[in-house]
């Protein structure tokens, strides 16, 4: 089965326990105003707009099927194509089978404990994840997902049986602000939070702290309350400008004081397994 693959980072120490290979899939059903990887949101529609932007002719058009062809051997990683794309996509993602990905991961096998699949939103490709995780388990790797929580994980029995841990983004507690700045409902996210606490698969909750958009105190207090009796860690992430779309660069990075205040709020409700990054 094919998956839509944005990129593979061979070694990561921030995507779950130990050293892991992080696999980013293409396509997301959220559109966060502060998204740090907006080029992973949509699939390419082969409009060819970005082809001329490439300074080294790494992009061409297949005359028969009008699809964009990306030549990674020429690419100098200048990102001109993704900056040009008006659709929050990239011509560089590829279609890959689970076997092809496993073949690449085998190169890193002696140095990693497992794989973490992120996105985009990886659970939109649940059947592909099931096949990939089944094969990863066969070579002794643990399997984690990093999800925006938009799909009902309680209905994904096969996937959850294969999955060793979940990193869940809880972006904002307030429903209306979630709709406004994330462009989606958060009902399922909060349902998944409860489900993952109950089934013991929650490894970490992540909240990106954006001072002027959200009531971060409300989000942190509520999440901390939910997870305080679980083994899950609460990661509070400073919003940073890196990778954010140009028209949203006016957002403020929270201060250390802001972050310490939020961490204290988590501690006050009894959630002590916290980290600020």
67 contributes a contact to ligand SF4 by CB under 6 A: no
Query: Cα–Cα distance between 97 and 103 in angstroms, integer?
Result: 10
Stretch that binds ligand SF4, among 24-32, 56-64, 166-174, 256-264 (CB under 6 A): 56-64
Interacting residue with ligand SF4 among 32, 35, 58, 153 (CB under 6 A): 58
75 contributes a contact to ligand SF4 by CB under 6 A: yes
Nearer to ligand SF4, 12 or 46 (CB): 46
Number of residues that bind ligand SF4 (CB under 6 A): 27
Work out how close the CB of 107 gets to ligand SF4 at its nearest, in angstroms, rounded to a whole number.
Answer: 23
Query: Cα–Cα distance between 170 and 220 in angstroms, integer?
Result: 9
Binders in 105-164 for ligand SF4, by CB under 6 A: none
Element (H, E) at 83: helix 80-84
Q: Residue 115: what are its φ and ψ, rounded to 5°?
A: -120, 150
Q: Which residues pair with 202 in a beta bridge?
A: 166
Element (H, E) at 195: helix 187-199
Q: Residue 247: what are its φ and ψ, rounded to 5°?
A: -75, -5
Read off the tokens for 185.
């409902």
Instruction: Give the x-and-dash track for 15-54 against ligand SF4 (CB under 6 A).
Output: -----------------------------xxxxxxx--xx
Query: Cα–Cα distance between 206 and 145 in angstroms, integer?
Result: 13
Interacting residue with ligand SF4 among 80, 160, 251, 269 (CB under 6 A): 80
Interacting residue with ligand SF4 among 59, 182, 232, 262 (CB under 6 A): 59
213 contributes a contact to ligand SF4 by CB under 6 A: no
Binders in 83-102 for ligand SF4, by CB under 6 A: 84-85, 87, 89-92
Read off the tokens for 231.
């083994």
Helices marked H in 85-156 — which ranges? 98-106, 126-138
Given the rule CB under 6 A, which residues bind ligand SF4?
44-50, 53-54, 56, 58-59, 68, 75-81, 84-85, 87, 89-92
């Amino acid at each position: 089965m094919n998956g839509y693959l944005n990129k593979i980072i061979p070694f990561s120490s921030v995507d779950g326990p130990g050293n892991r290979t992080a696999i980013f899939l293409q396509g997301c059903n959220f559109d966060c105003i502060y998204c740090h990887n907006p080029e992973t949101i949509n699939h390419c529609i082969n409009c060819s707009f970005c082809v001329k932007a490439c300074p080294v002719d790494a992009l061409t058009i297949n005359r028969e099927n009008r699809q964009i062809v990306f030549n990674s051997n020429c690419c100098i990683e200048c990102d001109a194509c993704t900056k040009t794309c008006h659709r929050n996509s990239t011509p560089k993602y590829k279609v890959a089978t689970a076997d092809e990905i496993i073949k690449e991961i085998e190169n890193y096998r002696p140095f990693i404990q497992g794989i973490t699949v992120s996105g985009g939103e990886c659970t939109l490709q649940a059947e592909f994840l099931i096949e990939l995780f089944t094969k990863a388990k066969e070579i002794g790797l643990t399997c984690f997902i990093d999800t925006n929580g938009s799909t009902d994980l309680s209905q994904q029995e096969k996937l959850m049986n294969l999955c060793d841990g979940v990193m869940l983004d809880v972006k904002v507690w307030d429903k209306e602000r979630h709709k406004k700045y994330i462009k989606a409902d958060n009902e399922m996210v909060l349902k998944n939070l409860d489900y993952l606490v109950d089934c013991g698969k929650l490894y970490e909750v992540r909240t990106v702290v954006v001072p002027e958009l959200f009531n971060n105190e409300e989000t942190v207090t509520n999440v901390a309350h939910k997870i305080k009796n679980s083994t899950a860690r609460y990661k509070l992430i400073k919003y940073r400008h890196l990778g954010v779309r140009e028209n949203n660069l006016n957002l403020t990075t929270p201060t250390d004081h802001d972050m310490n205040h939020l961490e204290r709020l988590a501690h006050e409700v009894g959630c002590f397994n916290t980290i600020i990054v």
